[in-house]
Structure 1
Amino acid sequence: MHHNRFRRAVTTIQDEFWRVATDDAGMSTAEYAIGTIAAAAFGAILYTVVSGDNVISALTGIITKALNTSVG
């Protein structure tokens, strides 16, 4: 009995999540454009940080240390 109630609750939460996630009523083209620009800017910043020399050398150091560590 508790299993069915739990399953109904999960289904209700999933249905509500998808309704909210896919509901775009009232959103304008300007809001979509701003969201797209913000996502592109965040991607550019993230790419710059990750591809920087400091990050690459830090990751290389971590991997080298992990490969040279003996287990025993």
Structure 2
Amino acid sequence: MVKARRARAVAWVAVRGWWRRRREAARSDAGMTTSEYAVGTIAAAGFAAVLYKIVTSGAVSGALESVIGKALDAPF
């Protein structure tokens, strides 16, 4: 019984130590590195290009024009 209790206590101390090391490692991260900024910028530019193509397509452009037209012709 004592051995089992001691084994559980040792395991618990090991787990707490692991979590403490993880917290300290997370706190030491000061921010994104240059490569992460580059990848994020490229992804944002790609997403903007795709969104621009979708919005300027014929179907979406027509739908936006009709919505704006209905909003401007609304009776007060």
Smaller-chain TM-score range? 0.5 to 0.7
Look up the SS of the partner of 2:32 in the other structure: coil
Partner in structure 2 of residue 41 of structure 1: 46
**1:55 maps onto 2:60 in alignment:** yes
Cα RMSD (Å): 2.0
Look up the SS of the partner of 2:30 in the other structure: coil
Query: If the length of structure 2 is used for normalisation, what is the TM-score?
Result: 0.50
Query: If the length of structure 1 is used for normalisation, what is the TM-score?
Result: 0.52
Change over 3 Å in CA distance of 1:69–1:27 after alignment to 2: closer
In the alignment, residue 41 of structure 2 is paired with which amino acid? T
Aligned length: 48
Note the residue ranges of structure 2 that are not aligned, 5 or more in a row.
Answer: 1-28
In the alignment, residue 38 of structure 2 is paired with which amino acid? A
Distance 1:40 1:57 in 2: 25
